Amino acid sequence: MTTLLAPLTAAPVQFLWGTTVLVDEADLEAIVHADARLPETGPTCDDLDPDLFVTDQAALEEAFFAAFNAIADMDGAPPVTSVTVKIQGWREGHGIPAADASPYIGWCYLSATPAPSTAESGCLSLADPRAGSDLTAMPGLPWGRQVLIRPVPGALVVAPGWLTHSIVPIEHGQSLIVATATCSR
């Protein structure tokens, strides 16, 4: 499934309504080890050795490369020329995703265990940091609310790097393995 919001018509942050966000489903069957699980103990956010979780790093990078260039094309922006992908483990209490001065940033949930008791736990949250309009009471408009992407294996999200993003804190006993990606032109 691909969900697209209205395309951005010009470069970086503009006081226009359009913001392009791509939400897709990556086929992880040949990319991630079938038994990829995060150890129960460890830091709330841990940079992981990709070889322990990913069977085909090039295919994972290509999935992000294609998504970054699709969103750049929708924005009328120059194509992406390189992609950097890191694998992270997120555990109980983690709530801040990686940030970078990248034109676009991406996330792909590779593994999620167990199912949380709170539906929003571990969700990627996107919000527009621009003020909406006169008499708008809160940032995040024109969307009017955060866009939440559930931590389901295969969920792939690409958004402009300037968009406000966070993680709904991960609950006790829940752990996620996530590929984070940045790009350059």
Overall pTM > 0.85: no
Residue 53's pLDDT is: 94
Q: How many domains does the chain have?
A: 1
Gap between the Cα atoms of 132 and 143, Å rounded = 9
Give the structural domain span for 82: 19-29+41-184
The three-state (H, E, C) secondary structure of 77-116, written as one string: CCCCCEEEEEEEEEECCCCCCCCCCCCEEEEEEEEEECCC
pLDDT means per 10 residues, the chain with 185 residues, are 44 58 93 87 91 95 97 94 96 79 93 83 84 54 71 94 88 92 94
Q: Cβ atoms within 10 A of the Cβ of 163, count?
A: 18
78 inside domain: yes
Gap between the Cα atoms of 82 and 64, Å rounded = 10
- Tell me if 121 sits within 8 A of 113, measured CB to CB: no
Residue 131's pLDDT is: 62
1 inside domain: no
CA torsion, points 5, 70, 3, 56, in degrees to nearest 10?
-140
Residue 10's pLDDT is: 44
CATH code for the domain in which residue 59 is found: 2.60.120
167 inside domain: yes
- Residue partners of 29: CB distance under 8 A and separation at least 6: none
